[in-house]
């Protein structure tokens, strides 16, 4: 079974359920515009998740789940003015998980306390997601790369390069109100090819199968999507008051009918330079 460790029923009743990875949106806004972003961050969404909401969401699950890695993602998480506090909040709820910050890097300099907090934590890392090889993009990101090299040297913060530029695939047809799902009707094949499988999302206090499902409601609220999206907007995430059997079944589940929204035969995407002048 990919991405989880299956417990027997008796042990599941007495210990948090172990799984590889859980993500939380720190911010919905992003300073880049990457076509077909799996989080819809190219669609002009704004705002951040408050510490109060995040506290409530995490508290509902921290006694039931034991993720090996807990990732802070977006949007662009460094847009959040209290990113360091967000990291510390995640640590309080998941004391043994590896904390991973996934960022495009452009606003890291706005968080001078972050490397100290990560140094104190001792089990946290930064993944710098590189989105393009255009010279203008490379020049723009160079100061952030130098900053991360300094953080690694001075504070021992583990830093990893993530070459997103080679991984872009089309997640949907069109944008905004004209956005449409795929209609390949091969959910098993879609799941097998899915780049978001095992990217379980903690959002609005519930656990979601993947980012395209978790944040589809934001897209619908902003643009008013067509009826073709109704089966996917009706997806039921896992509530924190679920039974142990329901929890185990949720994380064991592979393809579902909702996987039909994505391509069974992925299309590679040649991304244009995603730089924007200002953050959303």
**What pLDDT sits at residue 277?**
42
* pLDDT higher than threshold 50 for residue 38: yes
Please indicate, yes or no, if residue 128 is contained in any of the structural domains: yes
More confident residue, 148 or 1: 148
Please indicate, yes or no, if residue 236 is contained in any of the structural domains: yes
Q: What is the DSSP string of 74-116?
A: ES-GGGSTTHHHHHHHHHHH-TTSEEEEEE-STTGGG-TTHHH
pLDDT in tens, 174-192: 999 999 999 999 999 999 9
Tell me, what CATH number does 140's domain have?
3.20.20
Please indicate, yes or no, if residue 160 is contained in any of the structural domains: yes
* pLDDT higher than threshold 90 for residue 80: yes
| Full domain range(s) for residue 182 | 14-261
- From the list 265, 81, 277, 122, the residue with the least C-alpha distance to 185 is 265
Please indicate, yes or no, if residue 266 is contained in any of the structural domains: no
Cβ atoms within 10 Å of 189's Cβ, excluding its own? 17
* pLDDT higher than threshold 70 for residue 71: yes
Please indicate, yes or no, if residue 274 is contained in any of the structural domains: no
Please indicate, yes or no, if residue 75 is contained in any of the structural domains: yes
Rounded mean pLDDT, 236-257: 97
What is the tally of structural domains in the chain?
1
**What pLDDT sits at residue 1?**
33
pLDDT in tens, 87-109: 999 999 999 999 999 999 999 99
Please indicate, yes or no, if residue 116 is contained in any of the structural domains: yes
Rounded mean pLDDT, 56-67: 97
Please indicate, yes or no, if residue 147 is contained in any of the structural domains: yes
Average pLDDT score, the chain: 91
pLDDT in tens, 140-186: 999 999 999 999 999 999 999 988 877 788 889 999 999 999 999 99
Query: Any bridge partners for residue 207, and if so which?
Result: 202, 238
- From the list 252, 232, 198, the residue with the least C-alpha distance to 21 is 198
């Amino acid at each position: 079974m990919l991405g989880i460790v299956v417990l027997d029923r008796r042990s599941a009743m007495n210990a948090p359920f172990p799984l590889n990875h859980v993500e939380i949106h720190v911010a919905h806004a992003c300073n880049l515009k990457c076509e077909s972003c799996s989080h819809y961050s190219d669609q002009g969404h704004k705002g951040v998740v408050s510490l109060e909401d995040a506290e409530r969401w995490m508290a509902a699950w921290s006694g039931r789940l034991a993720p090996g890695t807990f990732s802070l993602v977006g949007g662009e998480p460094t847009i959040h003015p209290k990113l360091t506090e967000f990291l510390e909040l995640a640590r309080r709820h998941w004391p043994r998980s590896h904390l991973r910050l996934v960022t495009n890097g452009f606003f890291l300099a706005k968080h001078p306390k972050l490397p100290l907090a990560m140094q104190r934590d001792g089990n946290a890392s930064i993944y710098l997601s590189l989105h393009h090889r255009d010279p203008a993009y490379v020049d723009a990101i160079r100061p952030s790369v130098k900053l991360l090299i300094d953080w690694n040297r001075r504070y021992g913060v583990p830093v990893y390069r993530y070459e997103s530029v080679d991984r872009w695939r089309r997640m949907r047809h069109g944008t905004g109100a004209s956005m449409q799902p795929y209609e390949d009707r091969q959910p098993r094949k879609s799941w097998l090819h899915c780049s978001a499988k095992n990217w379980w999302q903690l959002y609005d206090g519930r656990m979601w199968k993947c980012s395209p499902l978790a944040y589809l409601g934001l897209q619908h609220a902003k643009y008013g999507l067509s009826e073709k999206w109704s089966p996917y907007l009706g997806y039921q995430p896992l509530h924190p008051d679920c039974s142990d059997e329901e929890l185990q079944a949720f994380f064991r589940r592979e393809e579902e009918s909702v996987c039909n929204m994505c391509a069974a035969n992925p299309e590679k995407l040649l991304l244009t330079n995603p730089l924007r002048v200002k953050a959303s």
